[in-house]
Structure 1
Amino acid sequence: MRLLAAVDLGSSLEALVESARFLQGGLGVPAQVLHVVPSPYWEDLARRFPHLAPQVEELLRLARAEVEKALGATGLPVQVLRGFPAQVVAAEALKSKLVLLGRGGEVPLEALAKGGLARYLLHRGEVPVLLLPRALAGVRRIAVGLDESPASLAAFRVAEAWGRALGAEVLGLHLVSGHGGCCFPTYLDPGKLSVPEVLERAKAHLEALLKATGAVEVSWGEAEEDLLRLAEARGADLLVLGSKARSTWRHRLGRMVEVLVLRSPLPLLVVPEAAVW
């Protein structure tokens, strides 16, 4: 198995390569760089106009050779394939332990446009995906967004494994909202407990559920950004979330993942519910 850094030739290339090198050393899993030359348009053109087929084939051959040469300078093994990028990366992901993707663009339209491949892989829910708005060159503290779901438990177990391998502290973070809000624990009685009691019992419940080797912190919060602010305030270098993909017929990722995939300034590791590290 490998760490698969799926790259284009844009601004995220260097950050992805640096992150792949760091994780290769820390996790003890070999990394490989993958680039897909988006060839379907040119191949369709050659079929439509057969007299162009030799020139098109030569152009694609030259493009592949130049990309292989450029990426070879990274010092990591390189694979350059032709095809529809999302489908090719998804197929190669099945042979991988982790997929690394760059995440660029701050305005919503640009972020959405550049998030197509990430969302495709996340909705497939077959392999953990690490989204990198910047290089990940060191990890001292890993924050995990917690609830009582199997997806959350899977994310916490992967975070624990990464923490042991990287020598990082693992901190579980759980939000609790008011009664009727999004995050009030279903296992507590809102009518009979004060806020401090809710927080205390939620913390005890999660620690017992997770058999946590790291710390668990429960905080009042209503929105996805509250979790992000809490992770940043605790000095997290990496945020980990569990994904519900493939666990329901709607293939929902979960609202926290849907929002923070686009907004997190922290490197974000999204772990499918069935993942084991």
Structure 2
Amino acid sequence: MRLLAAVDLGEGLESVVESARFLQEGLSIPAELLHVVPTPYFEALGRRFPHLRPGLEEALSQVEKEVQKTLADTGLRARVLRGFPAQVVAGEALKSRLVLLGQRGTGTLEALARGGLARYLLHRGEVPVLLLPRALKAVRRIAVGLDDSPASLSAFRVAEAWGRALGAEVFGLHLVSGQGGCCFPTYLDPETLGLADVLARAKAHLESLLKATGVVEVSKGDEELDLLRLAKAREADLLVLGSKAKSTWRHRLGRMVEVLSSQSSMPLLVVPEATVW
């Protein structure tokens, strides 16, 4: 199995390549770069205008050669394939332990442009996806967004495995919002407990589920971005979230993943619920 780094030739290429090198060494899993030349449009042109086919084929072949040379210069194993990028990457992801994707900027148009492939893979829920707004060069502290769901517990186990391999500290972060908020623990009664009791009981409950003590921090927070702010304040290098993937419909990834997958400014690892690392 491999780490699959799906790349284009945009400004995020170097960040993904650098991250792939780091994780290949740290996790002891070979990395492979994959670039997909989006050919459906040109194939349709060839069918509509047969006289263009030879020229289109020659141009595509030349593109493949140039891209292959560029990727080979990185020193990592690389392949160039043709097809519809999302489908090709998803198919190759099934033969991989992890998919790396570059992300740059959070503007509306840029988020929409890059969102197709990332969201397609996240909604399929078949393999962990690492979203990289910047290069991941070192990992000293790994933060895991926690609730009491199987998805977040699976994410914590994957983070523990990464922590052992990379020599990193792993800790969980759990947000408690006001009564009726998105993050109030469903297993606690807001009518009879003050905030201090809620925080203490939530921490004890989660550490009991994880079978570990001293690894969970519980804080008050009302917005999904509060988790990102807390992870940054704790100097985390990587944030890990569990994904419900196909287990729900309206928010099938979980609200936290829905928000942070497009707005996180730090590397974000999204782990499907059924993942075993």
In the comparison of the two structures, how many residue pairs are matched? 277
* Equivalent-residue separation in structure 1 for 2:120 and 2:43 (angstroms): 23
Structure 1: unaligned runs, 5 residues or longer = none
Which residue does 2:97 correspond to in 1?
A: 97
Partner SS for 2:43: helix
Which residue does 1:152 correspond to in 2?
A: 152
Which residue does 1:75 correspond to in 2?
A: 75
Which residue does 2:165 correspond to in 1?
A: 165
1:107-186 equivalences under 5 Å are 107-186=107-186
Q: CA deviation at 1:181?
A: 1.3
Q: CA deviation at 1:248?
A: 2.6
CA gap 1:161/1:213 in 2 versus in 1, 3 angstroms = farther
Percent sequence identity over matched residues? 77
* Equivalent-residue separation in structure 2 for 1:181 and 1:126 (angstroms): 30
Which residue does 1:198 correspond to in 2?
A: 198
Partner SS for 1:172: strand
Letter of the aligned partner of 2:84 in structure 1? F
Residue 12 (1) aligns with residue 12 (2):
yes
Deviates more, 1:159-168 or 1:209-218: 209-218
* Equivalent-residue separation in structure 2 for 1:251 and 1:23 (angstroms): 30
Q: Is the 8 A contact 1:170 1:214 kept in 2?
A: no
Which residue does 2:215 correspond to in 1?
A: 215
TM-score w.r.t. the length of structure 1 is 0.98
| Deviant stretches of 4+, over 4 Å | none
Q: CA deviation at 1:190?
A: 1.3
* Equivalent-residue separation in structure 1 for 2:249 and 2:191 (angstroms): 34
Letter of the aligned partner of 1:99 in structure 2? V
Letter of the aligned partner of 1:210 in structure 2? L
Partner SS for 1:218: strand
Which residue does 1:38 correspond to in 2?
A: 38
Q: CA deviation at 1:106?
A: 2.5
Partner SS for 1:114: helix
* Equivalent-residue separation in structure 1 for 2:216 and 2:21 (angstroms): 30
Which residue does 1:270 correspond to in 2?
A: 270
Letter of the aligned partner of 1:175 in structure 2? L
TM-score w.r.t. the length of structure 2 is 0.98
Q: Is the 8 A contact 1:169 1:214 kept in 2?
A: no
Which residue does 1:227 correspond to in 2?
A: 227
* Equivalent-residue separation in structure 1 for 2:114 and 2:180 (angstroms): 35
